[in-house]
Structure 1
Amino acid sequence: MTATQYEEKEAVTTYSMHVSAKYLELTKKKLELTRLPREVELPEQRTWEQGTPKSALEPLLDFWLDGYDWRAAEAKFNLDLPQYRTTITTPSTSSLPTPQILRIHFVHKRSKHENAIPLLFCHTWPSSFIEVQRVIDALTDPHSLPSFGDGAQQAFHVIAPSIPGFGFSDASMSEDFGLNGTAEVFDGLMARLGYDRYVAHGTGCICRALALQHPEHCLAVHTANPSFTEPAFKRGPLAYMKYRIAKMTKAKIPLLSFGYVPTELQASRERQASEVGQESLYSSRPLGPTLHRLYSLRPQTLAFSLCDSPVGLLATLLDVIHTRAPSHSPLTSRSRSPFLSPVELEMRDDEHEHPERDRIHSGSTEYPFSPRQSEIDAHNYTWSPTEVLNFTMLQWLPGPEAALRWLRRAHLESTDTQWSRHCSIPLGISSFHARNSSRTTPLMWGSSSWDISWVKRHQRPSHIPAWEAPDLVVLDLRECFGTFLSHGKLTNLPSAAS
């Protein structure tokens, strides 16, 4: 390879989303040819029991055909998110003996603040890089959302890549490509951008793969709504003993609670009791993780349907989002779905004629943060039709088959025995109120596999926190990593980018 060819391969180029009109027309034709299934009538409180109901999907199909504007969404993302692409070479695997050169798409916004530290923002299935849209400005500029305490003025250089096969990143053709391969790609991207040391945030398992494989680069992790397994004596004797003591005292004695809280332990007992004698698939535990596993079991079979049917893909996304929506104790008048109907959309658009409602007030100063702050402040976030379809399009455009293969491999890797080994990288956790169930994983169960150094529990429900609760995520990221800095858990940060 000549020097010029090498420079071209290593180049970072700007990128703008632009989907061909021909592909958009094909999507419309497929929507017009949709045949919806017949379904049995169920009581309102059981509407979602068998999956996405026609009553939720059909209005969105009509809106997709007659009211949805991808070009407007595309222009908005291009305006809000500075996007780039570069090539990263992945190592050979057992199923693909030659290295691959993948074009990786990513968002990169540098902060103007001297104390900014590099933050690798990792999405997971079925989300995409657009998840960072609502937090990127406040993360790069602390003055856009005031706070106090540790990290109040902490700023970040934000890097949000698309997992290979998602969004506008090339898919790997190796069946072995999953969490570990993604961690290699993302770490290589950070090195390409000049960030030798960084911190990471994500709601999936990519951050753990980064921390296990590259502890000299990924210095700390913040996650939201993690799922842990119950401590076992063989895996971590100390963590096991702390859990048993906290359980015995019901976490009501501060010195003997070891980070556990009574509600988590109570929920744990309820879950165990309810699952006795039941098949795990139909147990009363939250469906979110169960659906992820179900979709990962036979990715190729599922891909034939979802790669050909945009409505099938929409139904899948609706189901995943809704599994975390409250049904047992609705906090709004919409008990059936966390999605706004087109009629409610018109009502919301009317409200937005008053932009003064969409700001966070602090004394006499106004801080613009989100175009839908009134809904973000509500206890239960609701999705507009446009938002649901934007997330669906980011799965539909590249085709969902690579993402499903990735999900299968990610599940296999995260259940390997080596995955649960202890990681010394400090972990911060933001826990959001569990939806559709009071049964949550006790956060300190993770102490057998992580150095849990910061925890904050929120009552607001959220499945994709950076989208549904961006204000809390921003403040938590500042406080978490600010605390790590002040306690000496992060060294040699910030790291300057070239």
Structure 2
Amino acid sequence: MTTLDQRTSHAIRPFTVNFREETIDDLRRRLATTRWPTPELVADRSQGVQLATMRALGQYWRHDYDMRRVQARLNRLPQFTTEIDGVDIHFVHVRSRHRDALPLIMTHGWPGSVIELLDTVGPLTDPTAYGGSAEDAFHLVLPSLPGYGFSAEPAEVGWDLVRTARAWAELMRRLGYDRYVAQGGDVGAGVTDAMGRLGPRGLAGIHTNLLVPALNDPSALPDDTEEEQAALAAIKVFQTSGNGYFVEMATRPETIGYALLDSPAALAAWMIDHDTDAYYKIAGAFVGGTPSGNLTRDNVLDDITTYWLTGTGASTARSYWEAYGPDAPAAGRPPLPDPRVPVGFSTFPGEIWRTPRSWAEKAYPTLNYFGVAQRGGHFAAWEEPELFAAQVRAAFRPLR
């Protein structure tokens, strides 16, 4: 690669979302011709997403939802792309108006996207407008994971959590941040955990709201107290009856990808069937009209619509094969060392399991913050953006 080629590939380019009208028209046509299954034979979600929920979601999506709403929301924020390791990475980059703001790179998960983080932008970059202090401000970088949303799909295998973590470190270097912190939930917690273990130059600390080591190997964690036993039991329930999506995407992502790219109803059902707490909150927004916090009908459909209009259902599923599949390139890699940087962790009551402090301390010897939130679940930043932002501020306050 010549010097000119390198400069071109490393360039940071402004980005604007512009969905084609024919793509939106096609979405409406497909919604109108959805083939619905017969109703489930049980009164709960034990057979999957309930027909009443999906009919209400489909009706609202087709007739009442503004298909260009997500485009407008994103285009109000500074967006960019840059090529890293052969993949064009999309990111939102909002600099705070406050002096001495701390740079923060924050990573979404699945079935999320940068959409789930948008309502944290204000509280994190301008805390004084939300009852906080200017000293708690962040310069915020929100990248789209490879193959998600507006980031390009990898054209080769190997884009696991560690490779993404290295890419994020390169992104922060290109943006000129020589000292920064990182945060993540769901898949983003895996990327952030890997960043902490890699310890790239400039990384001052990390914070997550999903304890990745507990998901990887719960048997290695203490099980003496009632709280610890309850957490283990919750993980067992998830692994035996709640993680069908996880197994399918980690082993056969291409198979489910056909449905996710061909039917918007299938995509929506697949995306909202993540965990019990989140499912019933989303179902309540569509069937009962009672959203939980920020999980409104429009906000949920912003995320689903992003997946559909960008055609990334299959590539997002493929990311699970890369990160967690038994045949993934990283499957035989030796484990990374414990993080050498300070680690913060926050537990939310609606999470798949409630992490005891003892687990966080066991998983992270450098733990320096443990927060217990009063509301919120697995998608904490999406559901309770201000409460989530308060946890992030508290976690990183000692590192300023």
**Counterpart residue number, 2:36:** 36
The answer to whether structure 1 residue 442 and structure 2 residue 395 are counterparts is: no
| C-alpha distance in structure 2 between counterparts of 1:2 and 1:420, whole Å | 34
Match of 1:70 among 34, 44, 67: 67
Q: Which is richer in helix? A: 2
Q: Note the residue ranges of structure 1 that are not aligned, 5 or more in a row.
A: 91-100, 233-239, 251-261, 328-333, 346-374, 486-498
Please give the root-mean-square deviation of Cα atoms over the aligned residues, in Å. 2.8
| C-alpha distance in structure 1 between counterparts of 2:176 and 2:350, whole Å | 38
Match of 2:289 among 341, 344, 347: 344
Q: Cα distance, 1:444 vs. partner? A: 2.6
With over 3 angstroms needed to count, the CA separation of the structure-2 counterparts of 1:147 and 1:463, relative to structure 1, is: same
With over 3 angstroms needed to count, the CA separation of the structure-2 counterparts of 1:5 and 1:225, relative to structure 1, is: closer
The answer to whether structure 1 residue 466 and structure 2 residue 378 are counterparts is: no
| C-alpha distance in structure 1 between counterparts of 2:121 and 2:13, whole Å | 20
**Counterpart residue number, 2:295:** 383
Letter paired with 2:203: C
**Counterpart residue number, 1:188:** 170
**Counterpart residue number, 2:96:** 111
CA contact under 8 A between 1:153 and 1:478: conserved in structure 2?
A: no
SS of the residue aligned with 1:125?
coil
Equivalence map 1:316-327=2 (5 Å):
316-320=270-274, 323-325=276-278
**Counterpart residue number, 1:392:** 304
| C-alpha distance in structure 2 between counterparts of 1:179 and 1:24, whole Å | 32
Match of 2:230 among 260, 263, 267: 267
| C-alpha distance in structure 2 between counterparts of 1:181 and 1:280, whole Å | 26
SS of the residue aligned with 1:337?
helix
CA contact under 8 A between 1:381 and 1:462: conserved in structure 2?
A: no
| C-alpha distance in structure 1 between counterparts of 2:118 and 2:169, whole Å | 22
Q: TM-score, normalised by structure 1?
A: 0.71
Q: Cα distance, 1:222 vs. partner? A: 0.7
Match of 1:301 among 244, 249, 255: 255
Between the two structures, name the one with larger relative contact order (CA 8 Å, sep ≥ 6): 1
Q: Cα distance, 1:7 vs. partner? A: 3.4
CA contact under 8 A between 1:168 and 1:398: conserved in structure 2?
A: no
Q: Cα distance, 1:280 vs. partner? A: 5.2
Q: Cα distance, 1:113 vs. partner? A: 1.9
**Counterpart residue number, 1:354:** none
**Counterpart residue number, 1:95:** none
The answer to whether structure 1 residue 214 and structure 2 residue 214 are counterparts is: no
| C-alpha distance in structure 2 between counterparts of 1:270 and 1:205, whole Å | 22
| C-alpha distance in structure 1 between counterparts of 2:15 and 2:198, whole Å | 29
Q: Cα distance, 1:279 vs. partner? A: 11
CA contact under 8 A between 1:162 and 1:169: conserved in structure 2?
A: yes
CA contact under 8 A between 1:165 and 1:403: conserved in structure 2?
A: yes
SS of the residue aligned with 1:453?
strand
Q: Cα distance, 1:178 vs. partner? A: 1.5
Could you report, residue by residue, the CA deviation over 1:405-456 in whole angstroms, capped at 9, with x for unpaired residues? 1112111478767336422221111100035x7x534343243442221101
The answer to whether structure 1 residue 12 and structure 2 residue 9 are counterparts is: no
Q: Note the residue ranges of structure 2 that are not aligned, 5 or more in a row.
A: none
SS of the residue aligned with 1:168?
coil
Letter paired with 2:289: E
Number of aligned positions between the proteins: 389
With over 3 angstroms needed to count, the CA separation of the structure-2 counterparts of 1:415 and 1:477, relative to structure 1, is: farther
Q: TM-score, normalised by structure 2?
A: 0.88
With over 3 angstroms needed to count, the CA separation of the structure-2 counterparts of 1:212 and 1:271, relative to structure 1, is: closer
Say which one has the larger Rg: 1
Q: Cα distance, 1:192 vs. partner? A: 1.0
**Counterpart residue number, 1:27:** 27
**Counterpart residue number, 2:130:** 145
| C-alpha distance in structure 2 between counterparts of 1:417 and 1:2, whole Å | 33
**Counterpart residue number, 1:97:** none
| C-alpha distance in structure 2 between counterparts of 1:218 and 1:68, whole Å | 40
Could you report, residue by residue, the CA deviation over 1:98-126 in whole angstroms, capped at 9, with x for unpaired residues? xxx22211000111222211100111111
Equivalence map 1:169-318=2 (5 Å):
169-203=151-185, 204-227=189-212, 228=214, 229-230=217-218, 232=220, 243=222, 247=224, 250=225, 264-268=227-231, 281-282=240-241, 287=242, 291-318=245-272
